[in-house]
Structure 1
Amino acid sequence: MSTVKIVNTKNESVGEVELRDDVFNREVKEHILHEVVRMQRAARRSGNACTKTRVEVRGGGAKPWRQKGTGRARAGTRTSPIWRGGGVAFGPKPRDYGFKLNRKVKKQAVAMAISARFQEGNLIVLDDFTLERIKTRDFVEVMGALEVDNALIVAGSENDNLSKSSRNVNGYKVLPAEGVNVYDILLHKKLILVQPTIESLEKRLAS
């Protein structure tokens, strides 16, 4: 078991907590993290580019000119891809770029990303992070006391004041424990866990 100190919002030490090594201090395999980040980014692609084929372009009902005798090339429709205003040959259509990975691999990857932050010394555990009001200034003051300028904050599932107070400040994101993912952990320099979420993460990610 590993241990990490618990601090309050004034960055004062208030105790220690034990962490499971299979969640917070496991071997980090970069190729697994890479695959899961690829999967998450691919799933976020809109894939909504769309062009019209020769069938979908308006017009084309009448033959532009007669088949023979004009001295011009044969033409059967104005919607041909070689005509200006015609359809597009082999153009993009809406598609899903996502691909699947095994659930076990995704679970391991989240634990590895958390472990990477712990091993770097970039994991902070707060005893509580409750804001009495929706106020950006209050959030910024806490981050200043913690000396953090870029962080993913994992709080309880119901922390509306914290989420709304932080959303106008660049470099921060607030997620519930069940929403923790590899991409967001690696995107931020620090990982801040509110103490009650540790048990939830260990229950979800323990091997």
Structure 2
Amino acid sequence: MKVAVLDIKGKETGRKADLSDAVFAIEPNDHAVYLDVKQYLAHQRQGTHKAKERAEIAGSTRKIKKQKGTGTARAGSIKSPIFRGGGRIFGPRPKDYGQKLNKNVKRLARKSALSIKSKEQAILVVEDFNFDVPKTKDFKGVLKSLGLENKKSLFVLGDSNNSVYLSSRNLKGSEVVTSSEISTYKILNASSIVLLESALEGLESNLTK
């Protein structure tokens, strides 16, 4: 599949990029996409929730009233869950929400997501660019030229580029990743995918192993 290569002004350079059909034109597997997105979101959970139970509450161990003769229920500890300030019954404990997923399923999910975006004509190929110094204004200029100013966009670089990354960091709707950091969730969450020329080889290599 041939796609025109654009410059950062949004104009065609006269060159064409060849997008592999094995990555950008497969029949999407919805279940693989679901599993990969589910795993990604599960890994975002810290799992550090914790409530103190009866044995962890700081308080006196004295029997708070005599066993008989009070006319009320027996009570042996101020730390009992039935009293205010007592421990919590079956409270949340730290937990790892991570899920395992086969590498081949993850590759299939990412290829499916890219194929969906390709079918929607939401993939742009842009020649490599750089900024002399990190500047949000310069990155906003690129977004405006590509018609992505008010859209969610995902820029995929071949290698890490600190200037481009820092220039985009303050913009809520844009994200910059390398070809090895791309995920199914990030692909689907963006309205448009911007692939830099240097990212194509690494992306296709990672997804066709």
TM bucket (normalised to shorter chain) is over 0.9
Output the CA distance in 1 between the equivalents of 2:2 and 2:116. Answer: 15
Counterpart in 2 of 1:35? 35
Aligned-residue RMSD, C-alpha: 1.2
Amino acid at match of 1:62: R
Distance across 1 between alignment mates of 2:69 and 2:134 = 79
User: How do 1:25-174 residues align onto structure 2 when only pairs under 5 Å count?
Assistant: 25-149=25-149, 150-174=152-176
Shift of 1:34: 1.6
- What residue is the counterpart of 1:177 in the other structure? 179
Query: 1:119-141 CA distances to partner (integer Å, 9 max, x unpaired)?
Result: 11110011112112211111111
Q: TM-score, normalised by structure 2?
A: 0.94
**Structure 1 counterpart SS, 2:185:** helix
Equivalent position amino acid for 2:5 in 1: I
CA contact (8 A) 1:129 1:155 kept: no
1-structure distance, mates of 2:168, 2:60: 56
Q: CA deviation at 1:98?
A: 2.0
CA distance in 1, matches of 2:7, 2:43: 37
List per-residue Cα deviations over 1:55-112 (Å, max 9, x = no partner): 1111141111121233232111111111111110011111122211111101111111
Q: Which amino acid aligns with 1:147?
A: G
Residue 206 of structure 1: aligned partner: 208
Partner of 2:8: 9
Q: Which runs of 5+ in 2 are unaligned?
A: none
**Alpha-carbon offset, residue 145 of structure 1:** 0.9
2:107, 2:129 → 1: CA distance?
26
Alpha-carbon separation, structure 2, partners of 1:86 and 1:181: 44
Alignment match, 1:188: 190
Cα deviation per residue 1:1-30 (whole Å; 9 max; x = unaligned)?
Answer: x11111111112121021211111111122
State the secondary structure of the residue aligned to 1:192. strand
Do the aligned residues in 1 keep the contact of 2:158 with 2:197 (CA within 8 Å)?
no
Quote how far apart the aligned CAs of 1:183 are.
0.8
**SS of residue matched to 1:178:** coil
Deviations 1:145-200 (A, max 9, x none): 11113210001323111111111112100001110001111111000011011000
Residue type at the aligned position of 2:108: Q
Q: Where in structure 1 are there 5+ consecutive unaligned residues?
A: none
Distance (whole Å) between structure 2 residues aligned to residue 70 and residue 12 of structure 1: 88
